[in-house]
Amino acid sequence: MISPNPYSFSGNISNSSYASDDASISILEDHGRISLAYENLNSIPRRLADKFAGQTKCLDLSHNDFRNLQFLSFFEDLHTLILDRNVNLDLNSLPYLPSLNILWINNCDISNITDWIHRIERQCPSLEQLACMGNPGIRKVFGHESGATYAARDYILQVLPNLKYLNSECVGRDIGSGSQSRNTVSSSQGQMIDSASNSEKLSTGCKSLTPTLGFRQLFRFKQHKKTLSSIGKSYGNCSSTN
């Protein structure tokens, strides 16, 4: 959801941290990427959406507590969306995202996985890459047997036939055989994706997903630089003493 207060943050970010920021500092990185991962957020400040939504191509919201996803409708040109480890996502709030090409919903505690797949089919017509590992709905629907992984894979590809990558694997088109030709991208089949360690895989439309300053640190950039400077001076003094 979008917070009605333009300076309001939910989660662990104070109201003052954004209101007092330097206007020249932008959270929008190269290639239109914004990372709000690990910020304990459940809504987006309206001021942020108004200022950056139109320029954002890649949005990383992993490791938060988002539920209502309607705010994503502001991001009309969004190409890549990372929602890993948001465990309370509301399926019916996923808006129409015509430009979305890459979606990660790993480890989101999704039990109604088939409902999600059909919602994605309707709301994300341009999707080519989907990662949905680590959700209990996979085993709940398709079982624990050795062939369950292939059954789930076949089902998803039948509903989303335009996918080129599923769970970091390049998919083939021989659906139903249980042995689709594919090029393994992840180090092992079934490995849970972590948005921090596997971010380099999202190369298309989001050229670099390297670690950056966190949201809070970014809006306290001046204090951060002063702290680093004082530490450097102290270290130099210690070195000269020794």
Of the listed ranges 31-45, 144-158, 193-207, the least confidently predicted one is 193-207
Most confident of 17-31, 105-119, 139-153: 105-119
Tell me the pairing of strands 165-166 and 2-3. Answer: unpaired
- 160 has pLDDT over 90: yes
Of the listed ranges 71-85, 89-103, 119-133, 191-205, the least confidently predicted one is 191-205
Helix (H, G, I), strand (E, B) or coil at 118: helix
Pull the structure tokens for residue 11: 């989660």
The mean pLDDT value for 126-136 works out to 96
Query: How many Cα atoms occupy the beta-carbon half-sphere of 104 within 13 Å?
Result: 25
Q: Higher pLDDT residue, 127 or 201?
A: 127
Residues 6+ away with beta carbon under 8 Å from 63: 37, 38, 84, 85, 86, 195
When the pLDDT of each residue in the chain is averaged and rounded to a whole number, the result is: 74
Confidence of residue 204 (pLDDT cuts 50, 70, 90): very low
Please report the pLDDT score of residue 198 as a whole number: 46
CA distance 211 to 190: 24
Please report the pLDDT score of residue 2 as a whole number: 53
DSSP 60-92: E--SS-----GGGGG-TT--EEE-TT-TT--GG
CATH (one of 3.40.50.300, 2.160.10.10, 3.80.10.10, 3.40.190.10) for 2-213: 3.80.10.10
Confidence of residue 9 (pLDDT cuts 50, 70, 90): very low
On whether the CB atoms of residues 134 and 107 are closer than 8 A, the answer is yes
Q: Higher pLDDT residue, 204 or 152?
A: 152
